Amino acid sequence: MPSEPELPPEQKQLPKAPGLLRSSGLVGIMTMLSRVLGLVRDMVIARYFGAGAGADAFFVAFKIPNFLRRLFAEGAFSQAFVPVLSSYRENQSRSDVQRLVNAVAGSLGLVLLGVTLVAILGAPVLTAIFAPGFLDDEVKFALTSDMLRITFPYLFLISLTAFAGGILNSYDRFAVPAFTPVLLNLAMIAAAIWLTPLMDEPVMALAWGVFIAGALQLFFQLPFLMRLGLLPRPRVDYRHEGVSRILKLMVPALFGVSVSQINLLLDTVLASFLQTGSVSWLYYSDRLAELPLGVFGIAIATVILPNLSRKHTAASPDQFAATLDWAVRAVLLIGLPAALALALLAEPLIATLFHYGEVTDRDVAMSAQSLLAYSAGLLAFMLIKVLAPGFFARQDTKTPVKIGVIAMVANMVFNLILVFPLAHAGLALATSLSAWLNGYLLWRGLRKEGAWQGQPGWPRFLLQILFANGALAAVILWLNPPVAVWLANGGYQRAADMAILVGAGVAVYFVALALAGVRVRHFRQR
């Protein structure tokens, strides 16, 4: 009996998509690994370079391409590309999807190459724009410019990596893109330890580590695209209908999706005018605030964007609203205790992770001040990550732009008001306040348009998480010794004490949730 002919790829049924909780958990685990290694990376940097002029110079040279990565690659581009690709996946053939991928790869790559070459040639100009306070220090300014020439190609490499990751995420292959940042941390750790002794200017090793990491991250994802059958064959075609749609969506999304990143960059610009160490203090505290944001907020946002895009394409407004509601509840469940823990453990956390080598007691205290300010806005940062996709999935980028501009102007005003009495901590607090404004306006817009509708059970849910967070605060206050003890202890003792404290806090929080009636099944959604 003759066998049935094999269906072409576009007619084959794709495997059933995993549930949102499982997918978010998978991305969260991978991101947790990356963020933990990121903290190890920062501990190594702190040990070798402290919070001096060299560290300030590197953080600026790294922040410029990293900011543009978040603004462009993981921000505007991803939020525009994934909905368009999801629409093609649902409504077009596999060959049409491949043509879209080819056109985007060629068009995006050409633009990125041009931007990178201009940036390398104009490195001193970029340094003057992003760190004008360095103009008074010729050595720091020249060092930053030299490192920027090495780190800026990272934008080209990581943007193509984000493009590849967007394809994989659209086909529910979340693990590989989530694991990829691990390679950045490993490369920078290796560079700090083994390249530093080989450099005339030791801190230059970190710049080369960034460049190497960009190449590793891009080439790591290519085999998985090949396995999916969507390995790009770049073709420059700006007239392609999908490319035109992506470009049209990207222009306003540049502001709408990454206002918090613009605000953080403004902090760096103003901090460059403050005393030496201010840039580093903000960096170390921001890194700790980024841990829960990346592990949970970005993980949930990564999973729901293609999901929301498919629901919008399938005209399922009730499921769309339910998915957004699920995301907001998940963020509150994790974001609120994370913010509370960062606030209560600001100095112990900074001391445990960074109080080594060149980092002094004063550096710990100053970094803790800005961490406390960032913790006040952590929940807002996370809510922005999950609310913005509610607009982008519907290919509405104009509304987030309007909201983003309002939040950015507010941040500038807050900066000017708070920087004088609070110095660098005032910059962090201004960012948090503007994030709350941004998050509120996004939520109000979605609610007004009917895209977000509160599902049953909100009053009870709020009481449950408030009870659990009260228990968490009680156990932290009970077990946490005075700051002087943390500073006096050795590194291993601090790490052991922090592990016990964190373990006890997590255990008490989830036990309290269980006692209050919260169950895992309440968060299972396909």
pLDDT at 314: 65
pTM for this prediction: 0.70
pLDDT at 148: 92
Closest CA to 282 of 293, 268, 292, 269: 268
Q: From CA 70, how far away is CA 73, in angstroms rounded?
A: 6
Measured in whole angstroms, how far is the alpha carbon of residue 80 from the centre of its chain? 17
Angle between helices 317-344 and 491-516 (to 10 degrees): 140
Report residue 155 as tokens: 């934008």
Report residue 443 as tokens: 């939520």
Percent pLDDT > 90 in the chain is 32
pLDDT one-digit tens code per residue, 65-96: 877 776 665 666 777 787 888 788 888 888 88
pLDDT one-digit tens code per residue, 432-481: 999 999 999 999 998 888 777 777 888 999 999 999 999 999 999 999 99
Measured in whole angstroms, how far is the alpha carbon of residue 295 from the centre of its chain? 9
| Ranges of each domain in the chain | 20-259, 274-455
pLDDT one-digit tens code per residue, 336-384: 999 999 999 999 999 998 887 777 889 899 999 999 999 999 999 989 8
Q: From CA 331, how far away is CA 338, in angstroms rounded?
A: 10
- DSSP-derived secondary structure letter, 356: S
> Which range is least confidently modeled, 203-212, 331-340, 385-394?
385-394
Residue in the structure block whose two tokens are 């509304």 = 399
Ordered alpha helix ranges (H), 450-490: 458-479, 483-488
